[in-house]
Structure 1
Amino acid sequence: MLDFVATKEKTVLQRVISSQPFWVTIALIALVMLMTAMEPSFGTSENVANVTRNFAPFGIMALGMTIVIITGGIDLSVGSVMGLVVIVAGLFLTWHYPWYVAFAMGLFSGLACGAVNGFFVAYVGMPSFVVTLGMLSVARSLAVVFSANQMLYQFGPDAPIVKAIGQWKWPRHGPNDWAPHWIPELSSQFWTMVILALIVGFVFNFTAWARHLFAIGGNEEAARLTGVPVNWIKFQAYVFSAFTAALASLLLLGYNGSAINAMGQGYELRVIAATVIGGASLMGGAGTAFGAIIGSAFLEVIR
């Protein structure tokens, strides 16, 4: 029995050491230590807070991109979806709708883009590269038209709530707060990313849906023959990718306090790079939630 347990533990250790996210994590730690030694201000709590806030939106979107890439697809539209979502939400705020109505309409526009992507990829059978490249242009064009190519910033009575959502931090360093100053004030974007990563990690490890997802990426035809609802799961993957883009966009709307149609421009390449650096395979069938986050963090540190 002891031999069996030892063998099992050794196998788990070997799996961890041989995984790409593990070595990216080691490289990230070494890089942070080197940069802190060269520039002590890099390791301050203020800079850590800035770095985590900067990469969190990419980490959120990388979680969605990971699910798409696991299926063997790719989503080039996430940056443009961000631009459309922020403009739709911003318009409703300028029309003095409540913040939750504005956020809901922005989220709906993002999910609609994901549904269109998913439909054409999963049910029509078009290549994901072609479909999402088309959506990249369509969503960005809609954002420009809807905004009349203007920045939106007069958000009406709910503007303080919107900013509070995007600029919230925990823990805080106020005179009545418990946190010492060496602990960074972590943003709402970071905590949203952490919560979403935990949910996605749980789904990847403990649900039949994730097993079907990886089966599709490994061998789609074999998965279809075994009864896996391939089309439905691929459709859901693209909708979730759009959801993460919309979520990141709404958080940045609150942080910036304004909406521009150029939001997210070029983000898709960085999100894809973070996902691949974190261990996802562009051939499909591989990827982790932790890898998506660590890949995003690594790119932010070397940027």
Structure 2
Amino acid sequence: MLNPNNQPNPQDESGINYLKSKTEGNAVTVLPVGNFTLQQNGQHLAELYDMQKAGAVSFYDFKKSIQNTNLLKVGLQYVKSFDGIIQSYPQDNHLAGSGMVNEDETTIHLGIKTMPAIAEEVQIARDIQVAAYTGARLHIPTITTAASVQLIKEAKKKYSNISCSVSTNHLFLDTNDLSDFNTHFKLEPPLRDEKQKGALINGLKNGVIDTVTSDHIPLNIEHKAVEFDQASYGSTGLESAYGILQSLLDTEKAIEVLTSGYQVFGLPKPKIKIDETANLSLFIPTEKYTFMKNDVHSSSKNSALLGKKLKGKALGIINNKKTVWNG
């Protein structure tokens, strides 16, 4: 899925059609996500119905939380009529303040402004209640705390309209990686401590967390080669996602969480059968290696995984009658 962090952001039918036509014929099938609000400013709903008709798979103000609770309620009520999905970034901005890293025993010694985990958890608790009230489909992207996992676990016992994801970076990294102030580890949401990371892995294994995202955010070097507090948030993630999952999970589970997005977003899942167009990923699950810059094929090299030891390597894909090799 292509998140709406490009410029201009898609917020109407023409914006979605442009992305689809621009990427048509490539080996990768692009599934666009449209804005939730106009200009992502949190004030007025974008043209949600028209975007869904054009092929948008959900609606999301990328990395911007919906602070207006009534706007979230109205949006959910609106999309329910055409079975749309709204993504709500889990952060209460008032609690988060100007924090850049998680608030824990490691980060309090770094001299960097911190953000408490409760900033995420309060927002998730609110969003669950609003989704329960409307009965519409809500997806909570990139959760990062043990309490968030528990909140969603309890909600799923009562409601069937709530799903969530976790970034592969947050499954593998934690605040111990921040010790040398490497800006590649400045992520949004912030990295949490080892205990929280363990809860995310368990939440993924037991099915509370529905799917994973690479949270791929390529940035030019000038956005990262600066002081930590001046650096932009984000890391590339496409090339390291499979290696992370294969390092933490068995092969069957890694494949399951990488493909579960089809079900979460109501998309037809590719089938391996006669007369079906091939849609295949090629990989070696047992290969161990150190993730280096030559493994990053993006023109941006801002990967938080550089120098990390991984297991499992993607070899290429077959899709849209094209074959592309990794290398």
- Give the TM bin, normalised by the shorter chain: under 0.3
Q: Which has the higher helix share?
A: 1
TM-score, structure 2 length as denominator? 0.22
Q: Which has the higher strand share?
A: 2
- Determine which structure has more spread, i.e. the larger CA radius of gyration: 1
Q: Which has the higher contact order (CA 8 A, sep 6+)?
A: 1
TM-score, structure 1 length as denominator? 0.24
